[in-house]
Amino acid sequence: MKISIQKSILEQTLSQMQPFLEKKDTSQITSHIYLEADDNTLTLKGTDYEIGLKTKINDVNVIEKGKATANGKKLLDIVRILKDNEITLEQKDDHLFIKQGHSKFKLPIFDPEEYPTFPSTQNLPNISLNSVEFITSLKKITPAIDTNNPKFELNGALIDIKENLINLVATDTRRLAIVKLKNSPDTTLSLIIPRKAILEIQKLFLENINLFYDETNLIIKSDNYLFFTKLINGKFPDYERIIPNSLKYELNLPKDKMVEAIKQITTISNEIKLTFLKDRIIFKSLSEENIEAQTEIEVQTPFEEKFVMAVNSRFLLDFLNNIDGNNFIMGINESELPFLLKNENFITIIMPIVI
């Protein structure tokens, strides 16, 4: 294999591949990027077995067709320090040579024929989605995904495909985030996608995408990428049971005033006591130290008598920072029962703090 390629294009693509590579054990072939040159195209693949990405760079000057691998991090480090000009990559024997002007680097390679294979989409069922709507919805629920829960299924998000809609769901047991998308799928099923994969999906896909799936993998194809992730094998909690069937109190609240008030209190404490009066809401810090923060906003509420509850401010802000427009619904039953936040098709259920 021998090619010449523009430094900026190669650097950008190698940067995209980094999250998909084995970082800790460089003796593994999965720490390497797979390179294949053919017909003025360079194909790159990276995977740590759990997650993988394949992409192509077109209009590459392919001097000699072939395949190679190289440690993904070291190759990127080399490309970064070179000048913004053409770089030559050449595979000889068991090494990949990187050349530019008087600079020359040599990296060992693995046998490219032994590089892990990617799952095929052939004969797999698929779901066609509007990419912008799908990515926006994932961003809304991502903060509610747990990060290190011994129940592995909580370290991912659920794609719950029903007859007339798709629910995207995440929970860390203290809150539950749901986005409902209208859809007419051919089948009903539930898939749990790991948090790491969800973060990478948000970075990669801007155009319309096709989702393919089997029992172990979710595969996403677009014009530029083929992405796969292993699914989490487990049973997601019965999230629909957690959504309140009815609400005693419903408040229509302004996002901007709520965010401003909450941020003032978080300078002292992330835990906030909310006192609802008929014509205003009082925000007060719940800090054990001998310091205090308090503010209020004027807003009409349905409460005839004083109503007090406490909440983690981060949960409120995660919801408010991901909604469209300036108004949202807050639904409350009792001060110690889960309460609801809603904006269009986005709902978050939050457990209050018991005080």
Q: Domain 128-219+227-241: give its CATH code.
A: 3.10.150.10
pLDDT in tens, 109-160: 999 999 999 999 999 988 877 788 899 999 999 999 999 888 999 999 999 9
No. of helices (H) and no. of strands (E), the chain = 6, 25
Least confident of 184-188, 257-261, 278-282, 328-332: 184-188
For CATH 3.10.150.10, list the domain ranges present in the chain: 2-114, 128-219+227-241, 249-350
Q: Which residue has the higher pLDDT, 149 or 284?
A: 284
Q: Look at residue 219 in the predicted model and tell me its pLDDT.
A: 96
Q: Look at residue 262 in the predicted model and tell me its pLDDT.
A: 98
CB 216 within 8 A of CB 231: yes
Least confident of 153-167, 265-279, 308-322: 153-167
Residue 97 has φ and ψ, to the nearest 5°, of -100, 135
Distance between CA atoms of residues 342 and 329, nearest Å: 5
Q: Is residue 349 very low, low, confident or very high in pLDDT (cuts 50, 70, 90)? A: very high
Q: Look at residue 164 in the predicted model and tell me its pLDDT.
A: 82
pLDDT in tens, 213-256: 988 999 999 988 999 999 999 999 999 999 999 999 999 999 99
Q: Look at residue 287 in the predicted model and tell me its pLDDT.
A: 79
Sequence-distant (≥ 6) Cβ neighbours of residue 245 within 8 angstroms: none
Distance between CA atoms of residues 42 and 191, nearest Å: 33
Asked whether residue 187 carries a pLDDT value surpassing 80, the answer given is no
CATH superfamily of 249-350: DNA Polymerase III, subunit A, domain 2 (3.10.150.10)
The answer regarding whether domain 2-114 maps to CATH 3.40.50.720 reads no
Q: Is residue 355 very low, low, confident or very high in pLDDT (cuts 50, 70, 90)? A: confident
